[in-house]
Amino acid sequence: MTAALAARSAAAGRRVLAVDALGSGGLDQLVDGLGPQGYETLRLTTRASLDEYLKIYLRLPLGPSRLGPLAAIFDYVSAAAPGVRELLVIGKIGWEVRNGPWDEIVVDAPATGHVVELLGAPRSMAELIPTGPLAEQTAWLRDVLAATTTSLTLVTLPEELPVTETGELLDRIRTETSTGVDRLIVNRTPAPITAAGLAEIDRLVAAGDPIAPVATLAGARFAAAEAQTERLRRLGLPLLPVDDRPEDPVAAVLDALDRPDR
């Protein structure tokens, strides 16, 4: 999804940075498969974000040799004390927003729950650390996250549990962060089946056709997706259903983006 959004903006002539906030490399793999995209990618690991953070923000009087062992300690603290990692990652992204040459930054954020930690990290830190340079840094970071130019795109599936989680996530985002949500992408939306198609399922089942179990599943998936999309609609956000085409997910997203919102 991140790759598709970045590719689309780059194709429109914007300078785009795609950020893999998970540091997983999944974005790189996808990008490698896409060929030249006209956007740059940045993979964030704790260590890399930390070095940036210390060097750029705090102007610490430390050369690289002093930073090495210190960074090792911080790696350790960030593993033992979660929250540090989130702050560093969001700090680096904030720095790119303010100082980078980009028209647009697309961030592949971590899954449900973790994303609230990421967006809420500056606020958590502000509660924890009310004074000092870090507190000042977190103040402007919060401004970046609350700005109208920063928004969240939620991606979900038209299935019961993901829809429930999306509703809960939306509540948490609205109460625990200051970042706005602009749309909901409904990934892997199954192909629609007409009334005639649904009627044929019953005929196939009655005839004991070997394809009947698969047709029954296809019908049940479609009905469930319709019901779940209806639940999503009640969340009051623009919905963008993306066709379920596992063989070419990026193309499916691009097609969906070119269609008007439903």
Partner 1 sequence: MSEPGTEGQPIGGGVAAIDRMLADAEVVVMSGPGGVGKTTIGAALGLRAAQVHGRRVVVVTVDPARRLAEALGVARLTEEPVLVPVGSDEGRLWVLMVDMAKSWDELVSRHAPTDGVASQLLANRLYRTLTRRFVQSHDYIALDHLLLLAEQDRYDLVIVDTPPSRHALDLFDAPGRMIEFFESRLLRWLTAGAGSGLTTLAAKPFLLVAERLLGDDFLTQITEFFTLFSRLRPAFVARARAVEARLSDPSTTYAVVTTTDPLVAGGCQDLIDELQRRGLQPGLLVANRFPPSLRLTDVDGVVTPVPAVGQTELSSVTDPTLAEAVGRLVDRAGDATLPSTGATARPVVPVAWSAEDLADLDGLAGLFPDP
Residues of this chain that interact with partner 1 (CB under 8 A) are 22, 58, 60, 62, 70, 73, 76-77, 79-83, 110-114, 117, 120, 124, 127-135, 160-162, 164, 190-194, 196-198, 200-201, 204, 209-211, 213-224, 244-247
Q: Could you tell me the smallest distance in angstroms from the CB atom of residue 96 to partner 1?
A: 21
Phi-psi region of 188 (alpha: psi -120 to 50; beta: other; left: phi over 0): left
For partner 1, the closer CB: 40 or 209: 209
* Token representation of residue 130: 């009310």
Q: Could you tell me the smallest distance in angstroms from the CB atom of residue 102 to partner 1?
A: 26
* Token representation of residue 108: 């592949």
For partner 1, the closer CB: 11 or 199: 199
For partner 1, the closer CB: 83 or 100: 83
For partner 1, the closer CB: 161 or 251: 161
Give the closest residue to 138 by CA, choosing from 122, 124, 120: 122
Q: Could you tell me the smallest distance in angstroms from the CB atom of residue 4 to partner 1?
A: 16
* Token representation of residue 144: 């970046």
For partner 1, the closer CB: 16 or 71: 71
Q: Could you tell me the smallest distance in angstroms from the CB atom of residue 153 to partner 1?
A: 19
List, edge to edge, every strand of the sheet that includes 239-243.
151-156, 180-189, 239-243
* Token representation of residue 38: 């006209």
Query: Under DSSP, is residue 105 helix (H, G, I), strand (E, B) or coil?
Result: strand
* Secondary-structure percent of the chain, ordered helix, strand, coil, rounded to 5: 60, 15, 25
